[in-house]
Amino acid sequence: MKLGKLKEIDIRSVWSHEQYDFSKWLATEENIKELGDTLNLSLTDVETEKFVGNYRCDILCKDEITGKAVLIENQLEATNHDHLGKIITYASGLDASVVVWIVSSAREEHASAIEWLNKHTDDELSFFLVEVHAYTIGDSEPAPMFKIIEQPNDFVKSIKTISKNSDISDTEKNRLEFWTQLNDVLEKRNKPFNKRKPSTDHWYSVAMGSSECHISIGLINKEHRIRVGVWVTDNKDLFDHFYAHKEEIELGCGFELVWDRLEAKKASLACIYIEGLDFDNQNNYPELINKSIDCVIAMRDAFKPFI
């Protein structure tokens, strides 16, 4: 078999202008998803050229799961002090919780600055420094690639925030441990969906590509089981639409679901339960985690055609 050679090309030959070429390209659904997958974010509600006083940031969007504002500043050249100041100014003006600085080349001093910002802030603020490269193989079309240079250490930042609360319970510690192990398995399985920060919460949310619904893995230790379900946030019509296609969805999942319209509440739920959770006996965690991930993937694929 004859193999081609991967050749890096000048990104300015692909996108000659940051605003009119690169930002426009990045803001499309397909490409913003590619960036989001790289950063473990589900980026939606994309706005370009958002004004901050007399200045304009390149892209403002939000993380679908957390609802946090995400600022993206593009620089198709090596990092410099001017843009470092800009991202902090823009983040302040737009109250962004996540800052993504995309460059062609990251200088060591600016990588160190982003690392320092991540170390000295809690999980309410996250900074990413990302290089964008372009490659060809033979006469192929250019292929972009995002390379993370600096990013927040989610586990450390979560621990830092949690440590401020001396009243953390054993149950909360066990939840944190479960989600940390789940993230490890996701990495080993090449991230079939984006990771979330480990937390003391009993739930772990996964985006479905719509703000109307999401998938949640829930730890119900007192009942010794895990609930994996699609939550429709506040739209009974959408839940009814899903339920009208119950047979097709369950066939796509490969298992039956418990459907609960939750008449007295805004939210509605379709879920499955996995038995065997016990915080005092973690020997079956690998099995439970893999089953939970399998259910998420199956439900996401089965429900998506009906969103």
Give the per-residue pLDDT at 166: 52
pLDDT at residue 272 greater than cutoff 90: yes
Give the per-residue pLDDT at 130: 97
Give the per-residue pLDDT at 53: 76
Query: Pairing between strand 258-260 and 225-232?
Result: unpaired
More confident residue, 258 or 155: 258
**pLDDT per residue as tens digits for the range 182-229:** 999 999 999 999 888 888 899 999 999 888 999 999 999 999 999 999
User: Sorting pLDDT into bands at 50, 70 and 90, what band is 155?
Assistant: low
The lowest-confidence range among 71-75, 152-156, 202-206 is 152-156
User: For the chain, what's the residue count?
Assistant: 307
For the chain, list the strands marked E by DSSP. Answer: 6-9, 43-52, 55-63, 69-78, 98-105, 126-137, 143-150, 203-207, 213-220, 225-232, 258-260, 268-275
Give the per-residue pLDDT at 67: 84
For 26-68, list the strands marked E by DSSP. Answer: 43-52, 55-63
Looking at residues 254-260, what average pLDDT do you find? 97
pLDDT at residue 83 greater than cutoff 90: yes
Amino acid making up residue 130: V
CATH 3.40.1350.10 fits 6-152, yes or no: yes
Distance between CA atoms of 64 and 191, rounded to whole angstroms? Answer: 17
3-class SS at 304?
helix
Beta carbons within 10 angstroms of residue 42's beta carbon: 25
Give the per-residue pLDDT at 156: 56
Q: What's the pTM value of the predicted model, to 2 decimals?
A: 0.69
Top-confidence range, 14-18, 50-54, 66-70, 263-267: 263-267
Fold of 157-306: Yope Regulator; Chain: A, (3.30.1460)
Distance between CA atoms of 74 and 99, rounded to whole angstroms? Answer: 11
Give the per-residue pLDDT at 79: 96
Top-confidence range, 49-58, 77-86, 119-128, 157-166: 77-86
Distance between CA atoms of 73 and 55, rounded to whole angstroms? Answer: 12
Please report the DSSP string for 113-154 in residue order.
Answer: HHHHHHHTS-TT-EEEEEEEEEEEETTPPPEEEEEEEE---H
More confident residue, 166 or 253: 253
User: Domain limits of the chain?
Assistant: 6-152, 157-306
Query: Pairing between strand 69-78 and 98-105?
Result: parallel
Looking at residues 121-145, what average pLDDT do you find? 91
User: Sorting pLDDT into bands at 50, 70 and 90, what band is 66?
Assistant: confident
57: Cβ–Cβ under 8 A, 6 or more apart, which residues?
49, 50, 71, 72, 73, 86, 90, 94
Q: List C-alpha distances in Å: 211 to 62, 85, 158, 197, 252.
A: 11, 32, 25, 19, 22
pLDDT at residue 154 greater than cutoff 70: no
